[in-house]
Structure formats: structure tokens, C-alpha cells
Amino acid sequence: MAKDTFFQKKTTLNTGGKLIDLNIPKVMGIINVTPDSFFAGSRKPNTSDAVFMAEKMLNEGAAFLDIGAYSSRPGAADISPQEETDRLLPVIEAVVKQFPEAVLSVDTFRATVAETAIKAGARIINDISGGGLDAEMFETVARLQVPYILMHMKGTPQNMAEKAHYEDVFTEVFDYFAEKVYRLKELHVHDIILDPGFGFAKTPAQSFELLQQLKGFELLKLPVLAGISRKGMIYKTLGGTAETALNGTTVLNTMALMNGANMLRVHDVKEAVEAVKLFNAYNSTAKY
């Protein structure tokens, strides 16, 4: 083993035998199989519309597609695991059939839904609750041996807006990650991605503080995902709505890249891929 490699940040993911290198940041496209996600442009409740969006995002350079069937916007209605599965499965099966090389992520906090999606062809589990809303999630991830996106959130989508209280938001999120990463590694989960959960039980000011301190998570030696796309931290700061927040998204995605993000989870793949290309060009010529 080369000197110091034990302490280096992990930058590869094993997605069903396909190794993905995150030294060059990658883009994850969002497809919501829901009627009520916060950004209307991401809502693709019909399978044919979702497959069309998947094709568009893959052509634009998405390395991953994140498919979710449970709206996690603040105050969203709760739905049953069966309804979530019924929305999700036809889309995953159709996308896998049409694009067998695509790397799909399933956006769910429910272990049974996650396992069903993985068996249908998804390769990554993206859990907004970091295992907090389903006690079986960590064991399920360990048994399936798939990459796991560990996000920070307090409470549930229905009440998280009331829980945005912190003495020190970075320290509390860091400690949350450290404890959960320890548990996951005890279960021999090898591929963990950290997501600070911008906007999830966090005010815009708290989200900006996390963005500013994103490099601090490198102490955990794991890849970091930034999910900033069209969120309230943008449009509440600028005025407007999620629909008018694309330019602001690109600005903050660029800041996230400069602060160490390895993955960008976005509604608008083309613009995010361009941000990554320009960021890489800048890095390749920088002398200092």
C-alpha cells in the first residue's frame, strides 16, 4: 500500500460491479415520480415521461439518476409504503430496460421500498433520514452491499421545518455523520456518501453556513454530495420561486465544487455538467 493511502478520502463507488471514480465530480439527475415535489419541473408521475427525462439527463451527462416516489418537501403529505412502491417500480423497471448501463439511485427512507428497488435494478440507496425513520435500513444496506447516501435531517418531512435549531450546525451535522458512519462500517457497508441535507431542518442561513464549511467533512474521508438544486436557500435569498432558481443553483453548485463536493444532485443536468467542466478546467490550469 502506498504511503498514507489509509488516510486518504475514499473517491470510488462500486455500483453493481461498475467502479465510478469521484475524483472528477459527478452529476446526479433528479426524477420525482410524484405529483407534489417542490419543483414542478421534476414531477414525472407517468412512466413514459420519466423514461423520457432519464434519456435527456443521460444524454446531458448525468452519471446517476435518482428516482424518488415520496415527496420530501416541507409539509408534504405522507403516503404508504405500498403507494410509494407502486409509483416507483414501473419507472425503475422501464428505465433499466431502456438504459441497462444507467446507474440508478432510489430515493427512499424505507428499507422495504429500498430493497424492492434494488432488486428491480437500482444500484444506490439515497436515504434522506440517514436511517432515522426505519430501524431496518442500515442492516438492509449492509445485506444488499450497495452504496448508501447518508443524509442529515431532523424529524420528518412533515415537521422538519420546526426543528431547525442548532448551537453549531456544522458540529452537530458532523457528529451525526461520525456516529452513523461508525455504525455502518461496523456492519461492513463500504460505500458511503455524505449529504449535509441543505434545507432539511435548516434555515437558509444554516444551509449557507454548511456550504461554507463543506470542506470540514473531508475529515471523515468520504465523498460528499451537495443537493442544493432550486432550494429555498436560493429563492428565499434572491426572491422568486423554485422555478426561477436555476441561475442561483449554478452559482451555489460551483461554490460546492470549490469546497470539495464530489457529487451534485440536480434538477438541471446540462447546467451542472457545464459547471463541473469549467471547475475542472480551472483546476487543471491553476498554479496555486
Contacts of 22 (CB under 8 A, 6+ apart): 11, 12, 13, 223, 262, 263
123 is catalytic: no
Annotated active-site residue in 26, 87, 202, 231: 231
The cell for 74 is 416541507
- Alpha carbon separation from 232 to 35, 164, 200, 206, 207 (Å, rounded): 19, 14, 10, 12, 10
Secondary structure (DSSP) of 46-73: SHHHHHHHHHHHHHTT-SEEEEE-S--S
Annotated active-site residue in 110, 265, 277, 287: 265
CA atoms of 227 and 241, how far apart (whole Å):
17
CA atoms of 148 and 127, how far apart (whole Å):
7
231 is catalytic: yes
Burial class (CB in 10 A: 0-12, 13-18, 19+), 141: buried
Q: 43 near 32, Cβ under 8 Å? A: yes
CA atoms of 9 and 21, how far apart (whole Å):
12
Q: Which residues are catalytic?
A: 231, 265
